[in-house]
Structure 1
Amino acid sequence: MAPDPTPAAPALDDPEAVAPVQDPVASGHTDPEAVAPARERAAEAARRLDRTKLLAARLKAAGGQPYLASALYSLTVVPSLGVPTMGVDRHWRCYVNPGFVEATPVHELAAVWVHEVAHLLRDHHARAALLVPGYRHDHQRVNIAQDCEINDDLSSLPSGAMRPEMFGLPDGQLFEQYVPGIPAGHRHHECGSGAHGRPQPWESSDAARVSPVEAAAIRRQTAQELRAQAKARGRIPAGWRRWADEILQPTVDWRRALTGAVREAASWASGAVDYTYQRPSRRGAAVPRVVLPSLRRPMPRVAVVVDTSGSMGDDELRAVLGEVAGVLRAVGIGRNRVAVLACDADVHAVRRAATVGDVVLAGGGGTDMRVGIDQALKGPERPHIVIVLTDGYTPWPEAQPGQVRVIAGVIGEGGDDPPSWIETIRIPLETGAVGR
């Protein structure tokens, strides 16, 4: 269950406020030579940790930003000599180095508390898993970008904290937008699997944890507390206001929606099993002089109709096409089964595109996507799925073209909604190159 919206702060000497010494055997360290030293290190970390100072810093953080109190008091403190400073795992455990606590003033520790819980509230580990592989596997780079997203709203952090201006980047962006601007190979302390998603050696497996359902409830409760305070006082950092709006009024990630739509349509198309004599059935040997047909499962064919009218920008189109290509690859549709048609009021180019760079975005006149859809259906190989990328300012066919599934990716917020038989996905104009 999610904690009470306004939990009472535990006493600074509350035994429940800090996790007990971790048992290395319970954590999976069964090597007899490793168990004793691990136990000794865990006991030493617990003995050295200044609990009063650490929990005073959490109390200060909750007092300064009361809308974060529920989340802050949901963290389980785990003393550790392995973590360089402080870090979190995806189960809402906060690992704390006693030496770092000793060397850091309370007001800076309070900011670090807010920093660490922000990784979890903003679901950084789940978002990191949606990055394209070239960025997703560079955990240091991702972690630095995540720190930049958080720290532009924080003051009083210890020296050396990552901020956007250190890389010539503007404040107020999401970490997905920061990643391309972070130099590869830049090293910094990692914040744990609660940030970039990769478990660290110092993370435990047996301390108290917060379940995904509880975490979702904590995020929503925190967003509600934040919005209530914003209405009462109005002084909330911009990054937190944006986060609360996203939690309470979520927008569907168009990439996920498109992937789901294409996957479902592809499954439907490949399920249309039919008989064929091109490859006779192996069971025919049991029936002399009779040729039995075999069952054939068709591979889905896709046509992508691209609106190249004057209202569409080439950069936006290429960015979206790149995302669509990734979606098709993700659902197992090879590039040799995808035809791309450039269309305004007429079809100007039709080709099978191996890469986004092969697509010819000719046109620039009026807009009528009906022409492109019709041309796609008249091709030598009738598609099972037609994906239309447009800004929405176009007429649409009056009825569904037979058994063909039509998916519209409408770029921007303009234009009328397509007919109900077309699955419609709105694509924001801010589509970035990083992807998710």
Structure 2
Amino acid sequence: MRPDAADAPGALDLDKLFAARLHAARARPYLATALFALHTVESRQVPTMGVDRYWRCYVSPAFVDRTPVEDLAGVWVHEVSHLLRDHHGRSDRVARERGLTGPGERLRMNIAADCEINDDVYGDGLVRPQGAVRPKTLGLPEGQLMEDYLRQFRLGLRTQSLAWLDCGSGADGLEREWELGPDGAHGLSAQERDAVRFRVAQGLKGRPGKAPDGWQRWAEEVFHPPQPWRELLGAAVRSAASGPGAGEDYTYGRPSRRSAGVAGIVLPSIRRRPPRVCVIIDTSGSVSDAELGSALIEVAAISRAVGGRSDLVTVVPCDAAARIAHPLCRAEGIPLVGGGGTDLRTGFAKALRTRPRPDVVVVLTDGQTPWPATRPPCRTVVGLFPRQQTGWSWDENDPDYVPDSPPAWARVVDIG
């Protein structure tokens, strides 16, 4: 895959290039739809082959001339893997979240994305191209994702030989000057790109055991995309805490301007104060230790979502009975006592009896509980832990029993 400094100009050998694509489709039939969806663009600026996010494949004529068909087939699969795994979109998200800017960081994302692809994509009829970056090249373990690899290496001595690497914006999200851009010809629309991914995922699901673990994991996520649940939960709490009525109270310290229209009567004005949040944590026997640990992490995140004021957050552990409402000092110091049955109605009652009364109640539970019959006088956010459906029953004594869903007045976020 590494370019040669002695490249000579010449016409692109399409016969050889397309023969390599056919070889790739035969070696990896589940990727055929994606391989033939790519539109080829001849380019002497791209070092080898590269893709943009619109599913155009830019090809160096000199690279095709000097590379065997079997190696070219591996490059075809490598480049289309960047697009199928949405490395451009994921790189953009990582750049925003971690504040990564500049071409150096984008090169690091390209290297990390290559590590994700190259650890299991070759072999079984597909030759690994010369110079392909593998995790062990950087002393890293195999089987991880681009985001994981990014945390484990920096540009330095081990990556000096990779400065030439350029798989295009389809690998790292940074547009190149040699790309045609969103208005260029032969690009796929967002709907067409999603349709290609779905067809490839269908092919993978229809061939169990025939594809590497990385591709099987990818296909599962295409059909069941993971929710960014921490962002959703934080947004739900912030929305509930900032809505009308939350954190509002009357005060005579600053009379209402309407008092001027009512002779002899002083009307109070509305004062906005920081909202108070009470977190009810399900500590029943059906909730695992890992989920309880996750709940404590979310308590700290909820505190940050309301401005970092730990004095405004209380925690109520609850199984069949609610216990002490603990003020939040450190999430790790909250005793999560329980292990019996579940009745979060007692948790709601305990939360609403705390003084001062909360403006928002957040419930972290597996959902195996009865819910209050009436809407509480405050906003409610429910974080639901996942429950495995295969070989697992809600109630050993009644296999047909299914607990009630959270009520319509609660904002529900699936956790994990």
Unaligned runs of at least 5 residues, structure 2: 1-6, 395-402
Establish whether residue 363 from structure 1 lines up as the match of residue 351 from structure 2: no
Change in 2 beyond 3 A, CA 1:384/1:161: farther
1:175 to 134, 143, 146: 146
Which whole-Å CA distance do the structure 1 matches of 2:281 and 2:92 have between them?
Answer: 29
Is the 8 Å Cα contact of residues 48 and 60 (structure 2) preserved in structure 1? yes
Which whole-Å CA distance do the structure 2 matches of 1:270 and 1:102 have between them?
Answer: 70
1:334 to 282, 285, 307: 307
Is the 8 Å Cα contact of residues 83 and 96 (structure 1) preserved in structure 2? yes
1:336 alignment partner AA: R
Which whole-Å CA distance do the structure 1 matches of 2:240 and 2:78 have between them?
Answer: 42
Q: Residue 246 of structure 1: SS of its match in structure 2?
A: helix
1:196 alignment partner AA: D
1:150 to 106, 113, 117: 117
1:239 to 189, 214, 221: 214
2:129 alignment partner AA: P
Match in the other structure for 2:399: none
2:240 alignment partner AA: A
Match in the other structure for 1:419: 406
1:95 to 58, 62, 84: 58
The CA deviation at 1:151 is 1.8
Match in the other structure for 2:383: 408
Match in the other structure for 1:185: 155
Which whole-Å CA distance do the structure 2 matches of 1:105 and 1:270 have between them?
Answer: 69
The CA deviation at 1:298 is 6.2
Change in 2 beyond 3 A, CA 1:393/1:73: same
Which whole-Å CA distance do the structure 2 matches of 1:192 and 1:288 have between them?
Answer: 73
The CA deviation at 1:290 is 8.2
Task: Return the TM-score normalized by structure 2.
Answer: 0.72
1:225 alignment partner AA: G
The CA deviation at 1:219 is 1.3
Q: Which moves more between the two structures, 209-218 or 307-316?
A: 307-316
Is the 8 Å Cα contact of residues 361 and 378 (structure 2) preserved in structure 1? no
Q: Residue 376 of structure 2: SS of its match in structure 1?
A: coil
1:163 alignment partner AA: R
Which whole-Å CA distance do the structure 2 matches of 1:390 and 1:296 have between them?
Answer: 33
Is the 8 Å Cα contact of residues 135 and 142 (structure 1) preserved in structure 2? no
The CA deviation at 1:292 is 7.0
Match in the other structure for 1:351: 327
Task: Map Cα deviations across residues 277-313 of structure 1 (whole Å, 9 max, x no partner).
Answer: 5445679899999867656566544333344667767
Change in 2 beyond 3 A, CA 1:409/1:301: farther
1:74 alignment partner AA: A
Task: Map Cα deviations across residues 212-269 of structure 1 (whole Å, 9 max, x no partner).
Answer: 12211221122223334x17xx522332233223223445443354345335534544
The CA deviation at 1:334 is 0.9
2:308 alignment partner AA: R
**Aligned-residue identity in percent:** 46
The CA deviation at 1:207 is 2.8
CA-based RMSD of the aligned residues comes to: 4.0
Q: Residue 149 of structure 1: SS of its match in structure 2?
A: helix
Task: Map Cα deviations across residues 384-432 of structure 1 (whole Å, 9 max, x no partner).
Answer: 322223455666544432233131332554865653344443323xxxx
Which whole-Å CA distance do the structure 1 matches of 2:328 and 2:118 have between them?
Answer: 46
Match in the other structure for 2:133: 162
Establish whether residue 61 from structure 1 lines up as the match of residue 24 from structure 2: yes
Change in 2 beyond 3 A, CA 1:176/1:349: farther
2:98 alignment partner AA: G
Q: Residue 77 of structure 1: SS of its match in structure 2?
A: strand
Task: Return the TM-score normalized by structure 1.
Answer: 0.69
Which whole-Å CA distance do the structure 2 matches of 1:80 and 1:292 have between them?
Answer: 75
Is the 8 Å Cα contact of residues 309 and 363 (structure 1) preserved in structure 2? no
Which whole-Å CA distance do the structure 2 matches of 1:309 and 1:168 have between them?
Answer: 43
Establish whether residue 127 from structure 1 lines up as the match of residue 90 from structure 2: yes
Establish whether residue 258 from structure 1 lines up as the match of residue 233 from structure 2: yes
Which whole-Å CA distance do the structure 2 matches of 1:111 and 1:49 have between them?
Answer: 18
1:194 to 162, 170, 174: 170
Q: Residue 384 of structure 2: SS of its match in structure 1?
A: strand
Match in the other structure for 1:38: none
Unaligned runs of at least 5 residues, structure 1: 1-43, 429-436
Equivalences for residues 6-405 of structure 1 within 5 A: 47-131=10-94, 133-134=97-98, 138-155=105-122, 156-167=127-138, 169-180=140-151, 182-185=152-155, 187=159, 188=162, 189-205=165-181, 206-208=183-185, 209-228=187-206, 230=207, 235-259=210-234, 261-262=236-237, 264-266=239-241, 268-269=243-244, 277-280=252-255, 300-307=275-282, 317-319=292-294, 321-322=296-297, 333-336=306-309, 338-341=312-315, 343-345=317-319, 346-347=322-323, 350-352=326-328, 359-366=332-339, 369-392=344-367, 396-405=371-380
Which whole-Å CA distance do the structure 2 matches of 1:125 and 1:154 have between them?
Answer: 19
Which whole-Å CA distance do the structure 2 matches of 1:184 and 1:316 have between them?
Answer: 33
Q: Residue 63 of structure 1: SS of its match in structure 2?
A: helix
Which whole-Å CA distance do the structure 1 matches of 2:49 and 2:255 have between them?
Answer: 66
